[in-house]
């Protein structure tokens, strides 16, 4: 190849590379400028979402509803209806004595009523003669220091009436703790003789009309308070 032809080929090659190198340089300058200025605003750029308010989400609301019981539509609890037979017995007693008898509870096979000390003998006679509770199965007492009272409870049953055979009626009364005195029921229910003596001995309740308010469990020289009162303490403890 001649020297002239070689020079012409080099010029053509240089002229063909010049636009590419120029375009590349222009593109690099533009990219550098965009990096310095940051991306231009675009319609495809995601819109800024305003911050959420303090309104709780559905999940939080559901959780709150489980922690706080709703009062809407709640049904108030009611006492169960007393059994018909026991309720009928109480109605007979109330018809006879009215407000002199306070009904504590009525349950299947169990009734508890409370009367004042001066009324207990006549109520016991009515229960024996008119209702059919013909004997006292046991008697006991409970000390209530905060109320300054002692409660005596007679558990009455029946041998004479088959429909009452499984029933127990609690006949109760209360007396002042500082001067514990009650009428005896020994003339209505002979079986209370030793039960009342035990209440006298262990709780300090004196039964007026009882022939033997005497000790039979504790020593004769017992000098402490009745041992079933709540303020009794064993010596040395």
Mean pLDDT computed over every residue of the chain: 81
**216 pLDDT tier (thresholds 50, 70, 90):** confident
**Confidence class of residue 43 from pLDDT cuts 50, 70 and 90?**
very low
* CB 132 within 8 Å of CB 160: yes
Count of C-beta atoms within a 10 Å radius of residue 136: 23
pLDDT band at 37 (very low <50, low <70, confident <90, very high): low
Task: Work out the end-to-end distance of the chain between its first and last CA atoms, rounded to an integer number of angstroms.
Answer: 133
CA distance 167 to 112: 11
pLDDT in tens, 127-137: 999 999 999 99
User: How many Cβ atoms sit within 10 Å of the Cβ of residue 154?
Assistant: 25
pTM for the model stands at: 0.67
**Domains along the chain with CATH numbers:** 84-182 (3.30.460.80)
Q: What is the mean pLDDT of residues 183-191?
A: 98
Judged on CB neighbours under 10 Å (0-12, 13-18, 19+), 153 is middle
Query: What confidence score (pLDDT) does residue 200 get?
Result: 96
Residue 104 in this model has a pLDDT that exceeds 90? yes
Q: Compare 17 and 122 and report the one with higher pLDDT.
A: 122
Q: What is the pLDDT of residues 152-186, one digit of tens each?
A: 999 999 999 999 999 999 999 999 999 999 999 99
Question: Is residue 103 classed exposed, middle or buried when 0-12, 13-18 and 19+ CB atoms within 10 A define those classes?
Answer: middle
Residue bearing tokens 């509770």: 133
How far is residue 7's CA from residue 195's CA, in Å, rounded to a whole number? 143
Query: Which residue, 169, 109, 104, 97, is CA-closest to 133?
Result: 169
**Phi, psi (5° rounding) for residue 225?**
-70, 165
Q: Classify 148 in phi/psi space as left (phi over 0), alpha (psi -120 to 50) or beta.
A: left
Identify the top-confidence range among 2-11, 187-196, 211-220: 187-196
Higher pLDDT, 1 or 226: 226
Q: What is the pLDDT of residue 3?
A: 47
Q: Is 170 left (phi over 0), alpha (psi -120 to 50) or beta?
A: beta
71-85, 129-143, 179-193: least confident range = 71-85
């Amino acid at each position: 190849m001649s020297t002239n032809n070689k020079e012409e080929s080099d010029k053509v090659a240089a002229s063909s590379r010049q636009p590419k190198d120029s375009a590349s340089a222009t593109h690099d300058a533009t990219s550098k400028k965009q990096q310095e200025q940051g991306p231009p605003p675009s319609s495809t750029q995601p819109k800024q979402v305003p911050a959420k308010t303090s309104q709780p989400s559905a999940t939080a609301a559901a959780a709150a509803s489980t922690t706080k019981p709703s009062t809407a539509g709640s049904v108030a609890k009611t006492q169960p209806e007393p059994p018909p037979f026991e309720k009928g017995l109480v109605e007979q007693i109330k018809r006879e004595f009215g407000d002199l008898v306070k009904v504590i509870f009525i349950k299947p096979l169990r009734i508890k009523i409370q009367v004042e000390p001066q009324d207990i003998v006549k109520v016991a006679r009515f229960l024996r003669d008119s209702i059919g509770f013909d004997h006292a199965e046991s008697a006991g007492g409970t000390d209530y220091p905060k109320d300054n009272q002692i409660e005596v409870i007679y558990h009455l049953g029946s041998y004479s009436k088959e429909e009452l055979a499984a029933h127990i009626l609690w006949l109760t009364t209360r007396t002042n703790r500082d001067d514990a005195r009650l009428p005896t029921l020994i003339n209505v229910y002979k079986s209370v003789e030793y039960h009342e003596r035990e209440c006298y001995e262990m709780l300090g309740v004196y039964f007026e009309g009882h022939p033997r308010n005497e000790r039979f469990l504790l020593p004769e020289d017992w000098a402490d308070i009745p041992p079933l009162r709540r303020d009794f303490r064993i010596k040395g403890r």
